């Protein structure tokens, strides 16, 4: 497994306090627009990494199967209550540094508002690439250190770190802002190429959000998003990464679905109660419809 520290939302009311009562209708709407533009909306199997309570999952219903993963099983329990027990969904508590899936199982993946919690992005990207087919689209959102607010604060001397310098900045423990070029380099090293980029939340300022109707602000943002192909000065950036190689379909009925997160064996047997690793003997419990792989 992995000994890297993980930001854990176990028991968190984040969905309720941050999204539903936090005045973030604007952020939610502009993120959905970017997702629809960058991710194919149909496919065989999509992996949602850090799905949380499933806020964005209803954008992904064109996939035959959506596998929601999160480090926190209580977040997944909220998602399950929202989405139900349809065979279209699987709920998997797992660590992004040790994904419990067979190679090339997915033809798409999304990871929104997750990477800013990762201490070792390159290691996570290697894991993601491994479970994707060649040609798969991976939608990655990251928090951008080179945003207008940070630039203004730096120029006026209110902030010590330089938003144009490379390297991540940890503004709160386990919360990182990244440089867009670092993200691109890491993706390329992990065997992805970068397609389009969309800058998101151009107008994330409380004054604007209070003064201007949300729908109009969302409309303005949707027009500004494609400039992300040329420059990125918003707090949030969506990247369309494509897995290198000759495009291949994801298997409809895979012989191998699970991979042991401990010993990496593909020799796994699923029963109604658990997934059993035939190699190291570990038993991964299925509790209330949630696979527990951590």
Residues making contact with Zn ion (CB under 5 A): 260, 262-263, 265, 277, 279-280, 282
- Rounded Cα distance between 197 and 240, Å, is 6
Report the DSSP pairing between strands 106-111 and 132-143.
parallel
Query: Min. distance of Cβ 113 from Zn ion in angstroms?
Result: 31
Smallest distance, Zn ion to C-beta of residue 222, A: 46
Residue number, 249 or 281, with CB nearest to Zn ion: 281
- Given the complex with Zn ion, which of 6 and 266 has the nearer CB atom? 266
Minimal distance in Å, beta carbon 282 to Zn ion? 5
The residue among 186 and 291 lying less far from Zn ion, judged by its C-beta, is: 291
C-alpha closest to that of 38 among 179, 229, 196, 206? 196
Residue 244 phi, psi (nearest 5): -65, 160
Query: Quick count: other Cβ atoms within 10 Å of Cβ 50?
Result: 22
CB of 261 to Zn ion, least distance (A): 8
To Zn ion, the closest distance from the beta carbon of 267 in angstroms equals 8
Considering beta carbons, is residue 62 or 281 the nearer one to Zn ion? 281
Which of 162/262 has CB closer to Zn ion? 262
Cβ closer to Zn ion: 24 or 279?
279
Tokens of 49: 């990494």
Q: Which is nearer to Zn ion, 140 or 260 (CB)?
A: 260
Among 249, 116, 132, 245, which Cα is nearest to 183's? 116
Evaluate whether 112 touches 141 at the Cβ level (below 8 Å).
yes
Shortest reach from residue 277's CB to Zn ion, in Å: 3
- At its nearest, how many Å lie between Zn ion and the CB of residue 75? 25
Contact 68, 76 (CB under 8 A): yes
Distance CA 61, CA 11 (A): 27
Q: How many angstroms separate the CA atoms of 33 and 217, rounded?
A: 13
DSSP E strands in 121-226: the ranges are 132-143, 169-172, 175-177, 192-200
Alpha-carbon distance of 83 to 146, in angstroms, equals 36
């Amino acid at each position: 497994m992995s000994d890297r520290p993980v930001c854990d939302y176990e028991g968190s009311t984040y969905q309720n306090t941050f999204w539903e009562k936090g005045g973030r209708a604007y952020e939610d709407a502009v993120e959905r627009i970017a997702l629809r533009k960058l991710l194919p909306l149909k496919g065989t199997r999509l992996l949602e990494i850090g799905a949380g309570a499933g806020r964005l999952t209803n954008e992904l219903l064109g996939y035959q199967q959506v596998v929601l993963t999160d480090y926190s099983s209580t977040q997944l329990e909220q998602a399950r209550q929202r989405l139900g027990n349809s065979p279209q969904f699987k709920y998997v508590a797992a660590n992004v540094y040790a994904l419990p899936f067979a190679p090339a199982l997915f033809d798409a993946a999304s990871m929104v508002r997750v990477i800013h919690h990762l201490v070792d992005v390159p290691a996570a990207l290697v894991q993601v690439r491994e479970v994707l087919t060649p040609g798969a689209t991976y939608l990655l959102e990251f928090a951008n250190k080179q945003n207008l607010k940070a630039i203004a604060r730096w120029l006026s001397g209110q902030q010590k770190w330089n938003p144009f310098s490379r390297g991540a900045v940890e503004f709160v423990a386990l919360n990182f802002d990244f440089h867009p070029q670092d993200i691109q380099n890491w993706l390329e090293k992990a065997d992805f190429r970068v397609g389009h980029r969309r800058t998101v939340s151009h107008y994330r300022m409380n004054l604007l959000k209070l003064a201007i109707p949300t729908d109009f602000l969302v409309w303005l943002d949707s027009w500004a998003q494609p400039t992300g192909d040329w420059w990125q000065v918003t707090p949030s950036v969506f990247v369309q990464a494509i897995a290198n190689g000759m495009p291949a379909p994801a298997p409809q009925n895979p012989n191998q679905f699970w991979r042991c997160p401990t010993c990496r064996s593909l020799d796994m047997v699923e029963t109604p109660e658990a997934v059993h690793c035939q190699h190291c003997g570990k038993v991964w419990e299925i509790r209330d419809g949630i696979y527990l792989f951590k």
